[in-house]
Amino acid sequence: MEIIFCLLVLPFKDTFHVVQVLNDKIEVLSKINIRNRGNNDDLILYAYNERYAAFLEKDRLIIYKILQGNPELIKKIKIIEDLEPSCLSLNDHYLYIGGRWRGKNEERVHFSAGFYNIKEKTPEWNSIPVPGEYIRAGKAIDDILIQPGSFLLVDNLVYPKYLLTYKEIPGEKIELEKVITLAVNGPNERIAKGLLTDRYVAFISTTFGTWDFGYHINIYKTGDYTRIFSIGSSKNSINDFIITGDRLYFILNSFTIGSLEIKDTFFMPIKNDFASMNLYLDKEEDLDTITVKKYPYRIARLVSLPGRTDELMMIYKNNKEYSYYLTDTALSP
């Protein structure tokens, strides 16, 4: 029997759950309470992996070690002054932070991204070199996507939006490899979530103009940013997404999961920095090409399970109560 520990956030009353998945059963083993930074639950910044969980509580980082499903508080770190954090990410025992530099000294804009080694007795700030031209007024590091040997910094504010790719060699200096201008879908675009796998880099975003509101998923092949697979809709909301292998899953209109296999033929060349939409969910014929399954409760989030390709987890929201549910990746009736 395979036991998988998953740390899942329930954005209600600042509660984080450590969840055990055993075969087809889900059990909440413990809870962590974190004080919010404001009235909006989404303001809680957090990151986790199989060993650690980190949370931003006001101007401090709260670090837990996860031992057999039980969180043990191991450190509190005061973040560097004048940094307004907007994202956290964990890679083994390194905690990465991105945000906006509020300091007066313009030469220190590279402090908008950095990391702490949480194994150190007194963790020190290590800055990541971010060229000043990419962190000018209105710019910030809004997401950090990590995979073994490299990581990506995502800029989400104001057009153009940038993706900065870095090479990470243990014990050596972090080096900026390249800067990519991300394709855009329309005016006032806001990236809500980024995802990095060994095959794909993907983003879910919204756009809005004078007359309409749009939902989008943009998918690139990892390392190739010249072609894009773009999904969009103005009538159907896209609330969350995950990718397992070559399969995309997304929440459609809160009560439905849509799924399709990502194929090489879906990827189109990027022209003039704009994404060419090749799957438009407002068109009946395009909607018919995806597998869909409706559920009785509002789906708040999708979670892929480490080491499992046959199941994924949904987090239901019914009024103010949350619950977990496993479904097979084939979305069987």
Rounded to whole angstroms, the Cα distance separating 229 from 277 reads 7
* Rounded Cα–Cα distance for residues 163 and 64 (Å): 30
* Residue 75 confidence (pLDDT) above 60: yes
Q: How does pLDDT run across 252-308, given as a tens digit for each residue?
A: 999 999 999 999 999 999 988 888 788 889 888 888 889 999 998 899 999 988 878
pTM of this structure = 0.89
- Work out the pLDDT band at 158, boundaries 50, 70, 90: low
| Residues whose CB falls within 8 Å of the CB of residue 257, separated by 6 or more in sequence, listed in order | 249, 250, 251, 292, 293, 295, 299, 302, 314, 327, 331
At a CB cut-off of 8 Å and minimum separation 6, what does 211 contact?
none
Residues above pLDDT 90, as percent of the chain: 33
> For the residues 103-127, what does the mean pLDDT come to?
77
Give the per-residue pLDDT at 194: 92
Q: Tokens at residue 140, please?
A: 């910030």
Q: Residue 109 phi/psi, 5° resolution?
A: -65, -20
Quickly state the pLDDT bin for 50 (edges 50, 70, 90): confident
Count how many residues are written for the chain: 333
Concatenated DSSP letters for 68-93? Answer: TTEEEEEEEEEPPTTEEEEEEEEETT
Q: Any idea of the CA torsion for 209, 138, 143, 303, to the nearest 10 degrees? A: -30
CA distances from 235 to 18, 252, 283 (A): 36, 10, 10
Give residue for tokens 């998988």: 4
Tokens read off for 100: 């906006």
What is the Cα 297 distance to its own chain's centre? Answer: 23
Angle of CA points 85, 179, 79, to nearest 5°? 15
- pLDDT at residue 238 is higher than 80: yes
> What fold does the segment set 186-333 form as a domain?
Lipocalin (2.40.128)
Q: Residue 184: its pLDDT value, please? A: 87
Where along the chain do its domains lie? Answer: 186-333
The stretches of the chain forming alpha helices (DSSP H) are: 284-287
For residue 46, the cross-strand partners are 55
* Least-confidence region, from 49-58, 164-173, 242-251, 317-326: 164-173
